[in-house]
A and B are shown apart, each in its own frame.
Chain A
Amino acid sequence: MATKALIGKDLREHGAAAIGLLVASLVMVALAIAQNRSAAFSMSPFEVVRFALITFVPLIVLTLGNRLIVREYLSGTRLFVEALPVGSMRPLLVKYGLGAAFLSLLAATLLAACVLGSSAADDVTPQWLGQLLLKTLVVMCLYWSIVFCFSLCGHLRIVLYLVTLGIVAMIAWMPAIDATRFAPFRLLDRDLFVFERDVVPVADMLWTLALAAAFLVTGFLIARLGNGSVADRLARPMTRRDFVVLGVLLIAGSGLAGVIAENRTREPIRFGNTSVLRVPEPAIEMYFASELYRERSEAFLASVQTAVEPMQARLGIDALPIVRLALRPTRERHDIDYGTLDGVYVAGNWLENDSYDDAVLVAVVLHGLLTARTTGRAPFEPHHWVLDGFTRWWAETLGEPQALQTSHRDELLTRAVFVASRLDDDADLVTGWQGIADNFGYPSAEALAFSAVLYIAETQGVEAVYDLGRAFLAEPVAASVLGSFSDRSRPAWQRFTTATGLTRDDFTRDWAAWLAQRSRDPGVAGRLALIPALDPVFEVDSSDAAQPAIVAGYTPRRGRVVSEVHEEAVCVFRYGSLSAFDYEYEVGDEDKRETRCVADEAAHVLSGRHGSGDRVYVALEFESPDFHQALRLGSQRLVIP
């Protein structure tokens, strides 16, 4: 009788709202079914059931909890109900039962709407429908139990909802966590929830129900603990102390989540056993594709090993990640894939390499190792020139200056002189490295950095170069804002001075003078004469608004008219689309046009490829058998007006 009265009271109070919610849900489901019908990749109207469960059903359950429980607990009217001779548990049980009944009705309505929207193609069988209803009810039971429990927590419930939301988001979206290992998530699986008919996920449903039961029991405990005094206390507005405690708990939780995310270490992936060479220490693996290439690959592997081992010792690095090298026999020589996500991975073609090309590739490997060692900090602009210069210097000399081959030295210094002669006066290795690499290409930027390191080695001794490497490239930097603080606490130039004994101004001035001297070395001067005396020019012709054109060409370089360009040499126009914002960009090989290297301001015309407002990277390069890598004459980032 008392139960009936309690039910009647709640029905009178919330009946209209419940009907409203039910009808509104029906409309939402109908709209969702209509959307599902016209969606490009939908398979069945029953997908709406899962959609509803992860979108608006939680909102409805929240509203239900708010009306049935929160209002009474916050306003204190529950005390009137508890004063009645019905026991302390019965009102709560009635409320839970009413909520569960409403949600069961909602689940049935949801499925009924989907059945109405279905066709014979959906093969609606009683067994399958029953299974779907069961799964829906289990999920709703979990939702209702959580809301029931939190609703009894008064003002604390908002925080609890936020924390729950955070945990759900973390499980669902954090890559380190496999959501499919948790029962409620597995139960709501995108494919299985609707389309699995043969297997009933009994275990998942039981786990979900167990979770729901845990929340339910907690809710009742909160309600009855100390004869309801805990619920009373929670219903009162929160004090500052409560907020502080909650803040501490939240921060601790966030920290824990961070630790979980950080602790996802695993062994790096390794090559298989076919056509693979291995060196245990330092760990290097090489895939050489075919027995035909074994001999050449073994030689290259030896050169990588010879470079890595002493570098590790000189820089005092205790451990290095694994290096995986993959031979791509059909690639162009300097067409290299490079990654440091899982150890160091370099794919390229070393079959036709001469010693210069080998050094390029070895420098790439060292670049990857030191990047990985510093957890990605080494390519940060203030450090990048040291990374490029040191790795190339090491690849050329193995730390022994006398090992540097004259022809390599001359070619690298030619590039360095070429770039230096075209740089602005205020260009700086530390603050302008990205701009230099962007404008003249990575090979030339690397050559410039190499010349700087070579200058230090020749003037300050190799120990200064080792110190430079140790100062910038040997220590891991934390991948967090703390890493930034600790790294930036020692400015780049200060580090440089400590390592080399050179001040910024002295180094900049003396290195430039040294480089100017080197330009008169016969080997360098001879090579400089092989570069066409041309300056690049770029322009956008937007006279035809419907078909804007990019015009690129060459003008004679002032003060230099003589050049002895190789007859097979070509000038190449490369271009690529840019996003709205600048970052380091390397133009690809797929979009390029070649021409003879002669002064012609409209040597390349590119029309109708880009629209007004596009940003385009354009570069002009010189390719010649006299140089191992293309020499970029200049580049620009254009905006089509």
Chain B
Amino acid sequence: MFVLIFKELRQLLPIAWLWLAVIALGFASRLIGSRADEETFASWYEGYLDVGSDPMIAAVAALVGLVTAWSLFPREIDDSTIDFLRALPVSRTQVFMAKYLAAVLLVSCLTIFSYGIDALLLAWNPESLGGKFYPQVFYTLIWRDIVFSAIIVAHGVLISWFRVTGLVVYVIYLLGVAWLESSAGGAGLFSVLSILSNEYHGSRLVVDLRAIVVHAIVAFFLLCIAHFLWGRAASARSGGKQRSRAGGFWRALLSVGAFLALGVTLLRITASENGGLVDDSLSVATTAHFRFAFHPADERTVNYLLAHADEDFKELGARLGADELPTVRVNLAAASEHAAGLATWKTIRMDLDTFEADVSQRRVLSHEAVHVMQSVLSNRALARHFGATRFFVEGMAQYLSFAIVPEEQRRSSNRAIAAVAWKRQDIRFDDMSDPGFASRHDPDLYYSLGDLWTESFVAVCGEAALGDFLRAAGSDDVPRSLSGTVFWHGTLVALGCELERVNDQFQQDMQSLYERTDRSRFPVFDSARVSRLPDGRVRIIATLGAEPDESGVSPELNQDELPARFTVRVGSNASLVAAVDPVFRGRIERSEGEVQIIYEVPARAVPRSRFEYQLGYSPYADSRVWYDTRRTGTAAVEAPAGAGNPSPQ
């Protein structure tokens, strides 16, 4: 057996050289661009050690396993060299196992080799904090990666029997994972990538053992099937090709049939959800600048929009100094849990169920139309600097849409929420222009804080500066790879305006707004208790209190003016696609003069023990939600002994 494994390892040498070259190039590119002795454990493994999993890294790891597996059997069969092996006095099972073990051994050695170099480089950093090495994390990464590779090699051995068809099936599997993550918020154990999902307890890396066990069992069964198939595969010289041609017809027919059935089913689902091309259920109406598609049931709202759309768009064009206005296609029949509207280039989609009032729909249309104009006038420059400009992208859209379609009550409630968050969370321009803002604060603040910042911007630089900014940002003279802060400074200087002055104005405006805001409507969440219920749901009990005064003393909470709606937003578990954090409602309970908010989160939203969440509420009727800063909760997956029953609804 050992001789066989060595023979296979020799045969895998070219692929080993290939991976070594890739590893060498990877190290070389990093060492050329940075001083290795300043790399910390976290910076060296940036991305790979983040909580959750990175699809790009998982894809690379999977590719290594698949390519290695691919080089085990197909070529032996095609070149008929498998016949020599079968002539040896060893069983086909031993040949199969030797090949599989050799592949696993190879990827394991490469993994250990690569991590070994990492360890040497990290040991070079002498810093007392930055130079810390984390043996538990390091060794856990090594064995977890090896297990993942072994599982992927097992997949690869099986799919390589089906050749290209197998590869296509694998791509379909990954698309299925992405689909599940989009539609259900997470693919759970269905996704093999969940093995690479990171979770920490202190500085200890916690692996998802359930995922590993499940996928190891699946891999074992796949290996058994692969053993069965490869064991019976005849080489080309021993008539395999002829036989395979005969059987190939049926195999091809079966594949085509199965593919067609699946394809037709999926297309039917898609078409039925969408209405199909010949879709009589949607009506179409056009104006000078818009083409609307909508459900006939929404005709009243659409008529209102039709009456104002062009006029509003012209006003927008005038405010932005646009010479001409594009034609915009608007899908008013869209349904979305996540946003009232979306815009991409000259296309808008809106969910008319988000708001009741027609004027709100009109303002959403105006908001999305601003995004269209931002893209057109800046030649999509703001998208290139999206992380640094997102607050302004949304803020300008809010500012202009509210200016064109006034909704004073909604705007003032949004602004009050922004002012309280600004003060309590000490949000600055550098925070807003940091791409990580949404992971630390409420992403909805992009809209309301952005609206206020845009107002300060206009106060300092003038209303014409909005359009000028877009044109300046889109100029060919502007380098495309500027950091966020440099981009902001440079673009405003090009306008003859000063970022520092805008930020000064913003600071003063926000302080004044905060002082004017009735903070009794903004209670604070104090402590929160997190536990898992026997049915798997996670219960969060948060205590509500009044905002402390300047001396730090909390007055009595006004229980007559409590927010009407409480929500909790839980961090998403998607790994392959961009998903929105799910939101769940909470309820108020009063006991012994204390006000508690009870949230019960479905088990699927918290598949592992630790999770991130934000507590929030709507301070005014029909207003956006104010969210507290992110917290981390821990709820063991197994229900703790003595955990209480779910409380009555």
**A contact set with B: CB distance below 8 Å:** 16-17, 19-21, 23-28, 30-35, 37-41, 43-45, 55-56, 59, 63, 113, 115-124, 158, 175-178, 180, 189-192, 195-198, 250, 254, 258, 261, 264, 266, 269-276, 287, 289, 326-330, 337, 339, 341-342, 345, 347, 377, 380-382, 431-435, 438, 477-481, 483-484, 487-488, 544-547, 549, 577, 579-584, 588-590, 593-594, 607-615, 639
Contact = CB atoms under 8 A, between A and B. Distances in A.
B57 interface: no
A59 B128 contact: no
Interface in B514-531: 526-531
B594 to A, nearest CB: 13
Nearest to B176: A31
B621 interface: no
Contacts of A330: 504, 507-508, 511
Contacts of B579: 40
Contacts of B164: 17, 20-21, 24, 63
A339 B485 contact: yes
B552 A594 contact: yes
Contact of B201 (A33, A115, A477, A613): A613
A30 B609 CA distance: 35
Contacts of A158: 18
A479 B424 CA distance: 39
Given A26-B259, A271-B500, A545-B531, 9 more contacts: A30-B262, A31-B172, A34-B179, A35-B175, A40-B579, A119-B276, A198-B326, A328-B507, A583-B130
A382 B126 contact: yes
Given A481-B31, A484-B35, A582-B132, A116 B202 contact: no
B483 A41 contact: no
A178 B384 CA distance: 10
B282 to A, nearest CB: 4
A133 to B, nearest CB: 16
B293 A40 contact: no
A547 B256 contact: no
B640 A43 contact: no
Interface in B479-497: 479-481, 483, 485-486, 489-490, 492-493, 496-497
B503 to A, nearest CB: 7
A122 B18 CA distance: 46
B632 A611 contact: yes
Nearest to A197: B346
B500 A326 contact: yes
Nearest to B495: A272
Contact of A198 (B38, B273, B327, B333): B327
B127 A34 contact: no
A273 B498 CA distance: 8
B167 A117 contact: no
Interface centre among B260, B430, B498 (most CB of A within 10 A): B498
Contact of A609 (B132, B284, B334, B631): B631
Contacts of A264: 479, 481
Contact of B178 (A35, A273, A610): A35
B168 interface: yes
A27 to B, nearest CB: 4
Contact of A612 (B282, B329, B526, B634): B634
B631 A20 contact: no
A106 B495 CA distance: 49
Contacts of A121: 282, 293, 329, 331-334, 349
Contact of B182 (A38, A273, A276, A477): A38
A342 B487 CA distance: 11
A32 to B, nearest CB: 6
B526 A608 contact: yes
B632 A341 contact: no
B282 A120 contact: yes
Nearest to B552: A594
From B496, B507, B632, name the one whose CB has the most chain A CB atoms within 10 angstroms.
Answer: B632
B246 interface: no
B47 interface: no
B333 A43 contact: no
18 contacts: A27-B168, A27-B172, A30-B267, A31-B175, A35-B178, A40-B182, A45-B270, A115-B277, A117-B267, A269-B486, A269-B493, A273-B496, A274-B496, A380-B37, A580-B204, A584-B130, A608-B543, A611-B633
Interface string B82-105: 000000000000000000000000
Contacts of A25: 168
Given A264-B481, A477-B35, A196 B165 contact: no
A584 B127 CA distance: 10
B277 A254 contact: no
A252 B129 CA distance: 37
A270 B492 CA distance: 10
B147 interface: no
- Cβ-closest 9 pairs across A and B: A608-B527, A639-B202, A121-B331, A121-B293, A613-B201, A30-B266, A195-B345, A175-B481, A590-B426
B120 interface: no
Contact of A254 (B28, B428, B528): B28
Contact of A329 (B49, B275, B332, B504): B504
Contacts of A276: 498
B116 interface: no
B267 A254 contact: no
Nearest to A492: B126
Nearest to B380: A191
B456 interface: no
Interface of B: 18, 25, 28-29, 31-38, 40-43, 49, 124, 126-132, 134, 137, 164-165, 167-168, 171-172, 175-176, 178-179, 182-183, 200-206, 248-249, 252, 255-256, 259-260, 262-263, 266-267, 269-271, 273-277, 279, 282, 284, 291, 293, 326-327, 329, 331-334, 336, 338-339, 342, 344-347, 349, 375, 380, 383-384, 424-426, 428, 430, 479-481, 483, 485-486, 489-490, 492-493, 496-498, 500-501, 503-504, 507-508, 511, 526-531, 542-543, 552, 577-580, 609-610, 631-634, 640
Contact of A289 (B182, B493, B504): B504
A342 B631 CA distance: 34
In this complex, the member of A40, A118, A122, A477 whose beta carbon has the largest number of chain B beta carbons within 10 angstroms is A40
Contacts of B527: 547, 549, 607-609
A275 B497 CA distance: 11
A613 B38 contact: no
B426 A40 contact: no
Which residue, A21, A43, A122, has most C-beta atoms of chain B within 10 A? A43
Contacts of B329: 121, 123
Contacts of A178: 479-481
B293 A434 contact: no
A254 B31 CA distance: 12
User: Among the interface residues A117, A119, A272, A549, which one has the most CB atoms of the partner chain B within 10 A?
Assistant: A119
B203 A191 contact: no
Contact of B349 (A26, A43, A274): A43
A480 B31 contact: yes
Contacts of B259: 20, 23-24, 26-27
Which of A27, A32, A432, A607 is packed against the most chain B CB atoms within 10 Å?
A: A27
Nearest to B17: A243
Given A121-B334, A581-B42, A615 B202 contact: yes
Given A581-B134, A590-B424, A28 B172 contact: yes
Contacts of B344: 43, 191, 195
A273 B492 CA distance: 12
A41, A254, A380, A479 interface centre (most CB from chain B within 10 Å): A41
A32 B175 contact: yes
Contacts of B43: 583
Contacts of B36: 481, 484
Nearest to B249: A16
B130 to A, nearest CB: 6
Contacts of A438: 129
Given A326-B500, A484-B36, A119 B277 contact: yes
